[in-house]
Amino acid sequence: MASSTLLWLFFAFGHGFWSFLWRSSLIGGLAFVGAMVANLAERKLEREVERVRFDMHRQRGYHPLSCAVAWRLQDFQVEKRMRRPLRNLLSG
């Protein structure tokens, strides 16, 4: 939006009121269309990222976790497996 404002400041003034009105509406319309195109591209990118995450979720069989949570979960599972043989030795 700042670039369209600069463009408007440099090119809209001069050569009468109708020229100013025409250039202002042209620059404003182009800025509006540019903002809409950028918004649509952003939404398309977000949908693609969500599709990839959903596909990863489907392949893994569980919800994708952050690295820190995944490492803690893995440490907990390793610790749990290490306790089992100790229990078997003490009970038997």
- Give yes or no: residues 19 and 56 share one domain: yes
Residues 31/4, Cβ–Cβ less than 8 Å: yes
Model confidence, pTM = 0.52
* Residue predicted with more confidence, 2 or 42: 42
* pLDDT tens digit sequence for 4-30: 888 777 778 888 888 888 888 998 999
DSSP letter string, 33-53: HHHHHHHHHHHHHHHHHHHHH
Residue 64 in contact with residue 30, Cβ under 8 Å? no
For residue 39, the enclosing domain spans 1-61
Q: Is 11 exposed, middle or buried (0-12, 13-18, 19+ CB in 10 A)?
A: middle
Q: Tell me which residue of 86, 68, 66 sits closest to 76, measured CA to CA.
A: 68
Same domain, 44 and 71: no
- Residues 71, 57 within the same domain: no
Q: What is the pLDDT of residues 34-79, one digit of tens each?
A: 999 999 999 999 999 988 888 887 777 655 555 665 666 666 665 5
Residues 53 and 86 in one domain: no
* Number of domains making up the chain: 2
Confidence at residue 37, expressed as pLDDT on a 0 to 100 scale: 94
Q: Do residues 4 and 30 share a domain? A: yes
